[in-house]
Amino acid sequence: MSAAPNSGLMAESLKDAAVAAVLVAVLGFFFLALRTDIGTGGLDLTYRWGLWFAAIAIVFGVRLLLNLFIFKANKPVTSGMSVALPAGLLTVIGRFLGPFLLAVAAVLPFLLMYLFPSRDRQFIDLAILIMTYVMLGWGLNVVVGLAGLLDLGYVAFYAVGAYSFALLAQYLDIGFWTALPLAGLLAATWGVILGFPVLRLRGDYLAIVTLAFGEIIRVVLLNWYEFTGGPDGISGIPKPSFFGLEFERKGGFADFFGLDYDSIHRFIYLYYIILGLALITNFVTLRLRKLPIGRAWEALREDEIACRSLGINTTNTKLTAFSIGAMFAGFAGSFFATRQGFISPESFTFLESAIILAIVVLGGLGSQIGVVIASVVMIGGIEVLRNLGFLKEIFGPDFEPTQYRMLIFGLAMVLIMVWKPRGIISSRNPSAVYKERKKISSDMVAQGEGH
Amino acid sequence: METAMKTTSMQSWDDNVVLSVEHLTMRFGGLVAVNDLSFNVGRGDITALIGPNGAGKTTVFNCVTGFYKPTEGRIVMRHGKSFQSEKIEALTRTGRQFNDDGDDRVFLLERMPDFEISKRAKVARTFQNIRLFGGMTALENLLVAQHNPLMIASMMTVGGIFNLPGYKKARAEAIDFAAYWLEKTGLIERADDPAADLPYGDQRRLEIARAMCTRPHLLCLDEPAAGLNPRESTELNDLLQYIRKDHGTSILLIEHDMGVVMEISDHVIVLDYGQKISDGNASHVKNDPKVISAYLGVDEDEVAAVEESIDTQNGEGGQS
Amino acid sequence: MEYFLQQLINGLTLGSIYGLIAIGYTMVYGIIGMINFAHGDIFMVGSFIALATFLALVALGISALPLILFITLLVSMLFTSAWGWTVERLAYRPLRGSFRLAPLITAIGMSIVLQNFVQITQGARVKPLPPQIQGGVTLIEGVTENGTIAVQLSYMQMIIIATTLALMIGFSLLISKTSLGRSQRACEQDQKMAALLGVNVDRTISLTFVMGAALAAVAGFMFLLLYGVIDFYIGFLAGVKAFTAAVLGGIGSLPGAMLGGLLIGLIEVFWSGYFSVEYKDVAAFSILVIVLIFMPSGLLGKPEVEKV
């Protein structure tokens, strides 16, 4: 390679990196270099020039390296990294990934107990959390992925489910297994009530109205003190029993089966409950996709006007998608309530809706496996940050890695979307086959309402 | 003599009417897109609606298929063979949307929501700018068109979830019916390909196949020959003839390609500025001085050619 | 009556702030048809920049309050614009022409990033700033059974309303008279065609974000002066309400955004004044729902005809 393009590359990269550094200097000045804190007699201003310069230097350096080796380089170093897997292997992976994940999920608690005997409780709890998001993602996938209805208030139905069970338990002394279907039914009813007036709105407007509904429900839960306990929430929500057996030290599950009492039994039991609920969600969704109703949802996502010209009642079709999605959220909500034992409106903020939506979109709209991958990456990824205590030794004792969780989560949302706007798994499986099953590339699949 | 025939003697399409448009007016704000338009579509006929760009043809279609609510006028769809004028008048007075007695049903389309028009009145349509479900396969497109009978067969999804035999059978039949139309439109080899992947001409035919899967009594085609090459145009003619002959489906079409119109139409209605300027069989319309002047006094084929090129540029040119 | 007048003044003041934020939503929606979810957080960033600038100027020993306020306004507009530009460049431009949900997700991601960035760098606790502009004019004094009640128009409120008015007028001139405004309207109509005719679409969109951010910064500064308390989370609620305002006024319409802002401000203040403070957000959200259901094109927007 001749020297001329190289020096040009260097100059260009330097210039670009300098621009980035100046930008960071400008953006960061009031946030990194200056800091306001409540002091004696008002706000104090502290100066942190070191931090500011460090940020500028890091951005300059990183950007320069990226420019030299990836962005502007003739032969980016990453070109060797993206090894194209042979198509045959991909199909094999695609075919066995689902069953493999299912098998792992089926034995996961015992796997964790075997692999991490000292931290099994924590990991099973994390698995429960991830599985809850998988279920929520699958539920929302019906609404957003299949029917193409952008719902930013999904957490409202999660809240309805959780509060239904909590209130039923509190006022009527109803147990988890009885309350579960009721909670799903109530959430679905709310889905119909909220959905009916708004489902004819175009995509973005629908999104913002569902967001508003989500917030209204949260604010009502927060302020209806006599009924919902307001910000104090509801505590003492009963745990699920195993065919009438409680997970207690005396006379419970362990005694009945002649086991030594161990609080981990309950964790494992909760894990299998949410696994079962999630699998039901998955099974029902996959079945519905192959039924006329599911096909109508997808057709609706593709072209609503064409649907109407074919005699499909689009309002009812949207409502079924909306309420079925809500029902799954209701189930997940009552599971959440029984798992936590305590709920308050704080658990049902817009951020929660955003996370679930992000899981669905990042996973690839309509893709069931995609939701699993995205949940593991996003939720599991966040939790990993909790365990980065060793960073304290590098950055000093004031460094608190957990506070960067949401910052990194947000950045990941942006980066993954820019990298793969269609999500991780972006092909569609046809719902009916004449001769030969072919995957449909997402470039052809429409995204729903409006555009 | 031609004019006299039009006004005095009854034409075949006035004897056995499947659709009648009566005093239809459609205004958008101050713009009058269609003004006091009346015409009949004969059962089993191929009826063409022609006219220069902006004449209001697509607006008429949108009124017939319920996408627009007409400002004034009545649109009657008849399933029964008789003229049924008394029944229609009685229905109009009641304020109901349709008259439900057996095979002799009549529908007042201007009162019905769009999806009911397809579902009950059995009027199917295609679109000027093709509206297929691009991410779904050709087969899936045709199954969506059979949504309503399949919903009933699946017992509103409940039976479908448990895969009851009744649904299984209905599903297999639906696939067979779809395959039949794929066969007829020459798309059977592409059954499992996404609709967006098909070439333009195939997409046009798939849209017709999809409309036929709703088992319509009246098929409304919005410029079915637009963008087709001569061979495809001929195939389209054959397909339309087949639909009309073997399925008894009446066809109402908007078309700019005068070759297609004159060759296959039993009945031609010419619109200009939202009004009917001529109504009769192909040879009548061809020689009507009003029609010739509406097309700028130029030979129709030339005008059509120019318009077609304009249309393909504007996409929705003929709309307003 | 006096109470009513006082609420009216308070409502107009608050409404001005919402209106300024709403313009950012409406412009971006008009030009690229997306809800810039991070715009509320840009407003929050603006208020933090204003706070730091204000304190820095005081620390530098400048004592003339009008000068401080003026410099703070300019600095926060300038620096917040940089944030607006960056958000567009990083999160939206790479996805232009891509599928519709993607920029919405990056917008939500950006909103999370901004909130947490500010929380980490500036701390999670609220930042109180004592009232800087005191006093006002007593318009009416009335006597009720509880004693006298006065309708006050504070200098603070005057400044807010006057600044908003001035900005609105300047802004309308900018959009209607300059070539930038013309390119903006051209891009709204048809981006491809505008590009073919030599309009720099990317630049125009960037400038739209910059202008929106500058106005949001003004709103942030006003909010800081009016309430004297800010934290990293103020962007969300203010953003949703301002978006409501934009929709209420007719999204895409600048006068509509201002009008919608004023109405939302009034509704919120009157609701709190006469019904219940706790449910004031519910009132705003309900208005949003009702407007969208019954008149989705808003008060001053153009109705949309469904193309078949």
Q: Choose between A65 and A441: higher pLDDT.
A: A65
C38 within some domain: yes
pLDDT for the residue numbered C79: 94
Are A288 and B157 spatial neighbours (Cβ–Cβ below 8 Å)? yes
Give the lowest-confidence range in B122-131, B158-167, C216-225: B158-167
In sequence order, what DSSP letters do the residues of B233-293 get, joined into one string?
HHHHHHHHHHHHHHH--EEEEE---HHHHHHH-SEEEEEETTEEEEEE-HHHHHT-HHHHH
Whether residues C308 and B67 touch (CB distance < 8 A) is answered with yes
C267 within some domain: no
**Mean pLDDT over the full length of chain B:** 81
pLDDT for the residue numbered A442: 67
C287 within some domain: no
Enumerate the H helices of A341-380 as residue ranges: 350-363, 368-375
Q: What are phi and psi of B289, to 5 degrees?
A: -60, -35
The nearest alpha carbon in chain C to A225 belongs to: C278
pLDDT for the residue numbered B301: 57
Return the structure tokens found at C146: 């509880």
Q: Choose between C108 and A40: higher pLDDT.
A: C108
Per-residue pLDDT of chain C (308 residues; tens, 9 = 90+): 777 888 888 889 899 999 999 998 888 888 888 888 899 999 999 999 999 999 888 888 888 888 888 999 999 999 999 999 999 998 998 888 777 778 888 998 999 999 999 988 888 888 888 877 777 777 777 666 666 777 778 888 888 888 888 988 888 888 888 888 888 888 877 888 888 888 888 888 898 899 999 999 999 999 998 888 888 889 988 888 898 888 888 888 888 888 999 998 998 888 888 887 777 788 888 888 888 888 777 777 766 655 55
C6 within some domain: yes
pLDDT at A2 over 50: no
**A270 CA to chain C: closest CA distance, Å?**
31
pLDDT at A387 over 50: yes
Chain A CB within 8 Å of residue B72 CB? no
pLDDT at A75 over 70: no
Q: Which chains pack against A, by 3+ Cβ pairs within 8 A?
A: B, C
C295 within some domain: no
Handedness of CA B311, B241, B12, B101 (dihedral sign): negative
Mean per-residue pLDDT, A239-255: 71
- In one-letter notation, the amino acid at residue C293 is I
In sequence order, what DSSP letters do the residues of A126-174 get, joined into one string?
HHHHHHHHHHHHHHHIIIIIIS----S-THHHHHHHHHHHHHHHHHH--
Mean per-residue pLDDT, B246-274: 85
pLDDT for the residue numbered B3: 42
Cα A437 from Cα A421, distance rounded (Å)? 25
The kind and range of the H/E element at A450 are none
pLDDT at B317 over 50: no
Whether residues A23 and C86 touch (CB distance < 8 A) is answered with yes
Residue B310: pLDDT band (50, 70, 90) is: low
Q: Choose between B207 and A435: higher pLDDT.
A: B207
Cβ pairs A/C, distance under 8 A: 179
C140 within some domain: yes
Return the structure tokens found at A329: 């959220």
Give the lowest-confidence range in A193-197, B8-12, B266-270: B8-12
Give the number of other CB atoms < 10 A from CB of residue A40.
5
Q: Choose between A313 and A423: higher pLDDT.
A: A313
| CATH code of C91's domain | 1.10.3470
Chain C CB within 8 Å of residue B58 CB? yes
pLDDT at A29 over 90: no
Residue B11 DSSP class: P
pLDDT for the residue numbered C192: 82
C150 within some domain: yes
Are A303 and A448 spatial neighbours (Cβ–Cβ below 8 Å)? no
In sequence order, what DSSP letters do the residues of chain C get, joined into one string?
-HHHHHHHHHHHHHHHHHHHHHHHHHHHHHHH----TTHHHHHHHHHHHHHHHHHHHHHTT---HHHHHHHHHHHHHHHHHHHHHHHIIIIIGGGTTS-THHHHHHHHHHHHHHHHHHHHHH-SS-EE----S--EEEEEEEEETTEEEEEEEEHHHHHHHHHHHHHHHHHHHHHHHSHHHHHHHHHHH-HHHHHHTT--HHHHHHHHHHHHHHHHHHHHHHHHHHH-EE-TTHHHHHHHHHHHHHHHH-TT-HHHHHHHHHHHHHHHHHHHHHT-STTHHHHHHHHHHHHHHH-TTTTTSPPPPPP-
- Which residues of B, range 145-184, sit inside 8 Å of A by Cβ? 145-148, 150-151, 154, 157, 160-161, 175, 178-179, 182
Task: Specify which of A323-332, B187-196, C298-307 reaches the highest per-range mean pLDDT.
Answer: A323-332
Q: What is the pTM of this model?
A: 0.84
List of chain A residues whose C-beta atoms are within 8 Å of the C-beta of residue B144: 295-296, 299, 307, 310, 312
For chain C, what is the domain count?
A: 1
pLDDT for the residue numbered B314: 53
Provide the residue range defining the domain that includes C191: 2-245
pLDDT for the residue numbered B318: 40
Q: What are phi and psi of C128, to 5 degrees?
A: -90, 135
pLDDT for the residue numbered A325: 94
C279 within some domain: no
Mean per-residue pLDDT, B82-90: 71
Q: What are phi and psi of A221, to 5 degrees?
A: -60, -35
Mean per-residue pLDDT, A164-188: 88
pLDDT at A177 over 50: yes
Give the best residue of A308, A418, A444, A451 to mutate against chain C (max C CB count within 10 A): A418
pLDDT at B82 over 70: no
Chain A CB within 8 Å of residue C35 CB? yes
**Mean pLDDT over the full length of chain A:** 82
